[in-house]
Amino acid sequence: MHHSSRIFRLTAVLIIAALSVFAIVPVTGDSPSEIAASYIQRGDDLTLQKQYHEALEAYEFAVASDPYNSIAWNKLGVAHMNTGRYQDAVEAFDRSLTIDPYYQKAWNNKGDALAALGEYEEAILAFEQALRLNSNDHYALLRKGTSLQQSGASAEAMLIYQEVVSRAEKEVRKHPDYARFDGELWTNKGEALYRLGRYEESLEAYSTALTINPKYDRALQGKIHAEEEILRARGAPTTPSLVTEENGVDIGLTNLPVSFPILIGALIAAVFFFRLRPPRQR
């Protein structure tokens, strides 16, 4: 009986070890899209940890695994932006949009990258394309305004900022329950108010966004800038902020599918485990 128990324990250990290796090592039967999805998930996790160079490498593996994955190319573009490689970002977004011309987020991201390069006219065209796909895209409208302002069309930009504020307030009145959970809505409103010089109202909007999502970078930075302007207007000394303005790039969330062979392997292991279990002592 002692000998049988040792065999049972050894077999169980071998099965568990084999299953662990099976789960870790990529399965050759996985499709390119499944492999890319796993790398995208890895990149997303690293981005949330602000490990941008490591995330960039993960997304490069994703596009190498599935070159026709528009999401992977968009994520790679975001990673290039996070590491300051804006021209590379534009090229990645172009690849994404070649695959899926209706990918609105990629148009917004391309506009942000072009604006960072100082190519404001091209950025405006990208944001306008995003607005053609969704006329209610407050972010695209806001960024079109900032690009216009940076290109010297301040009067037109001010009208756009007022339109963003008006749309945000209309959205709050029309869908108050949804607005209570939409941090981006309040952040867009806050930035538009800030650009209009309405700093107190801007601070209130940013604060509302942060009650929804206390870690929302755009709102955190916007609140800092609004507070600095309020202090400056009051003649109080301000402490220079080390926070730089974010691009507002959203990596989104990716769900990683569980590989079917891994599930089969777990089931087989469970069957062997119970078949090899020694009988009870009576």
Instruction: Say whether pTM exceeds 0.85.
Output: no
Task: Kindly report, residue by residue over 131-143, the tens digit of the pLDDT.
Answer: 999 999 999 999 9
Residue closest to 249 by CA, chosen among 271, 275, 218? 218
Residue that wins the pLDDT comparison between 9 and 23:
9
- Residue 273 covered by a domain: no
- Residue 133 covered by a domain: no
- Residue 69 covered by a domain: no
Task: Kindly report, residue by residue over 134-173, the tens digit of the pLDDT.
Answer: 999 999 999 999 999 999 999 999 999 999 999 999 999 9
| Angle value at C-alpha 210, between 207 and 213, nearest 5 degrees | 165
Query: Looking at residue 212, which CATH number applies to its domain?
Result: 1.25.40.10
- Residue 215 covered by a domain: yes
Asked if 143 contacts 111 with a C-beta cutoff of 8 angstroms, the reply is: yes
- Name the residue range of residue 177's domain: 153-249
- Residue 134 covered by a domain: no
- Residue 229 covered by a domain: yes
Average of per-residue pLDDT across 256-273: 43
- Residue 168 covered by a domain: yes
Q: How many domains does the chain have?
A: 1
The model's confidence at residue 235, banded by pLDDT at 50, 70 and 90, is: confident
CA atoms within 13 A on the CB side of 68: 3
- Burial-class residue 137 by CB neighbours within 10 Å (0-12, 13-18, 19+): buried
- Residue 11 covered by a domain: no
